[in-house]
Chains A and B, each alone.
Chain A
């Protein structure tokens, strides 16, 4: 266990009592950038105009803006300080463990950033002629091939901008496939343990959502599935491993049940971090799936990412992929093929979040097959280490073997009036980002913990020690936990009023005419 002394009380005391925190700027309540604005202040002074002046009204006609946009007027250093100060308020994977279950908040390797900033890559433009973009296209091609190999799929689109967008694209493919066979079908089956985006995707694609209850092991009830699948079923949307971090051991049978009725198996790739290099969805019967490059393949996650949600599929769905698709031409060069009569159409401008492709490819190539396999093993080992170290204090609702994440429930703590959200807020006082709370929905009061492979045993031990200390606090001083966090700028916010009466934008408080 960690040797440092944990801070068992609520006050913001440094963990190591021999060192104080570096003093921060006295202005801790950083205003909005609009509130820092002074009329006429500028960050840059433009050089005098050295071309003939053009009358904007002549050029723009009715489109001419008559009132200046209310942009903040601040100096350069004010901008820099504003955003730098705000950045120091954040918690980040670069500061400590971020065990937000289901989100796979793994380390973003610096080599990814180095490669993506190489001039030829960073300066490439989507309108560059294909003949001058062969290197960029090769990056896409290489990544596509790596991802198809990892997933065991036949074809792929890199366009979707994130996971839910990938789901949407995947179900569009399913719909186009069924339509091409004369019947779009009516319903999509979604297990009750699914991410909320799954039923939302099915509904947006015009399908009726049929809920599938999990069995006592937290897995798909194959007999029940067999009962409800019929010729009206377009697909099952399944996450594997499931959201309780359990591998669907009957996945082959699940696929067979669907295929027997002409339905397809969609896999939500959110938990692919438990499979890479070990098991391939294409081999266990999946027809179409999305990947989250910002989860499994170490591209930035949170803070705007941006994400990237490629969709890989079997050959039967290939004709329907979004346009354009990358192809090798007769002369051996790479180019975009727009001649795709059965395509569902474009799902995003240009070709996807290309900067993320570069990072994901760098991650894959830097690790290699053995490295990726070990990444998976380490992710599973870390989750199971946490499980073994906490299961005497926190209730484990499903005893099935864990993969890359472990889900506890607050059942024991709830008898003292402490809920999962309270424990999550208290772990902030110990210097960690909270785990995921209240999800999956099949576990009442869920604590969903995903350490990822990024964490060392030492960091895991610090987290475990903190969780054990909190379990003790729940017994001895539950109020301390119920009122946490105690070491943050603000403590409990009024979430209900914030949601009922949201303030979505800044408005000037005075009528001074400025701003």
Chain B
């Protein structure tokens, strides 16, 4: 699946959609397909602080537990509570199943993130395809 071009990406396979001062964060389709069937998503609480490149939660699949890394620094304003009972939504559509919304502390931070093309190239390099 080609990566949506309106999003920014991390090398840890998260995506972020920035709308004004708020960023919406999830994991990429490549991440969900590599993880396999996701069985549990552990998210922070609303009001928690997150920092760029630091973990903000974890995602557990039948294969492994992986940390979630925040693309940006800020405060969690909303979490996708639906994932607590329906973690499979991430497998169904990784770009629709957002995880957290963050009020950005430093809006210029996102400029260091990968574009869709750069992320595609990064995956190609990782998988050797």
- Which residues of A are interface residues toward B (Cβ below 8 A)? 196, 438, 441, 444, 495-496, 499-500
Chain B nearest CB: distance from A376 CB in Å?
31
A495 and B37 contacting across the interface, CB-CB below 8 Å: yes
Q: What residue of chain B has the Cβ atom nearest to residue A199's Cβ?
A: B67
Question: B interface, how many residues as a size bin?
Answer: 10 to 19
- Which of the residues A441, A444, A499 comes within 8 Å of B62, measured between beta carbons? A499
Q: What residue of chain A has the Cβ atom nearest to residue B87's Cβ?
A: A500
CA–CA, A496 and B64, complex, Å: 12
- Which of the residues B39, B63, B64 comes within 8 Å of A500, measured between beta carbons? B39
Show 20 A/B contacts (Cβ-Cβ < 8 Å), sorted by A. Answer: A196-B65, A438-B63, A438-B64, A441-B64, A444-B127, A495-B37, A495-B62, A496-B37, A496-B39, A496-B62, A496-B88, A499-B37, A499-B39, A499-B40, A499-B60, A499-B62, A500-B39, A500-B40, A500-B87, A500-B88
A438 — which chain B residues lie within 8 A by C-beta?
63-64
Q: What residue of chain A has the Cβ atom nearest to residue B63's Cβ?
A: A438
CA–CA, A444 and B65, complex, Å: 15
CA–CA, A496 and B89, complex, Å: 13
- Which residues of B are interface residues toward A (Cβ below 8 A)? 37, 39-40, 60, 62-65, 87-88, 127
Q: What residue of chain B has the Cβ atom nearest to residue A411's Cβ?
A: B128
Chain B nearest CB: distance from A177 CB in Å?
27
Q: What residue of chain A has the Cβ atom nearest to residue B65's Cβ?
A: A196
- Besides A438-B63, A500-B40, A500-B87, 6 more A-B contacts (Cβ < 8 Å) are A438-B64, A496-B62, A499-B40, A499-B60, A500-B39, A500-B88
Q: What residue of chain B has the Cβ atom nearest to residue A419's Cβ?
A: B36
B63 — which chain A residues lie within 8 A by C-beta?
438
CA–CA, A63 and B7, complex, Å: 61
* The 9 A-B residue pairs with the shortest CB-CB distance in the complex, in nearest-first order: A496-B37, A499-B39, A495-B62, A500-B39, A499-B62, A438-B63, A496-B62, A496-B39, A500-B87
Chain B nearest CB: distance from A201 CB in Å?
15
B40 — which chain A residues lie within 8 A by C-beta?
499-500
CA–CA, A496 and B40, complex, Å: 10
B65 — which chain A residues lie within 8 A by C-beta?
196
CA–CA, A444 and B127, complex, Å: 9
A496 — which chain B residues lie within 8 A by C-beta?
37, 39, 62, 88
Q: What residue of chain A has the Cβ atom nearest to residue B38's Cβ?
A: A496
Chain A CB within 10 A, most for which of B39, B40, B64: B39
B88 — which chain A residues lie within 8 A by C-beta?
496, 500
A500 — which chain B residues lie within 8 A by C-beta?
39-40, 87-88
CA–CA, A441 and B39, complex, Å: 19
Chain A CB within 10 A, most for which of B60, B62, B65: B62
CA–CA, A496 and B86, complex, Å: 12
Chain B nearest CB: distance from A447 CB in Å?
14
Q: What residue of chain A has the Cβ atom nearest to residue B128's Cβ?
A: A411
Chain B nearest CB: distance from A96 CB in Å?
26
A441 — which chain B residues lie within 8 A by C-beta?
64
CA–CA, A503 and B60, complex, Å: 18
CA–CA, A441 and B61, complex, Å: 14
Chain A nearest CB: distance from B92 CB in Å?
12
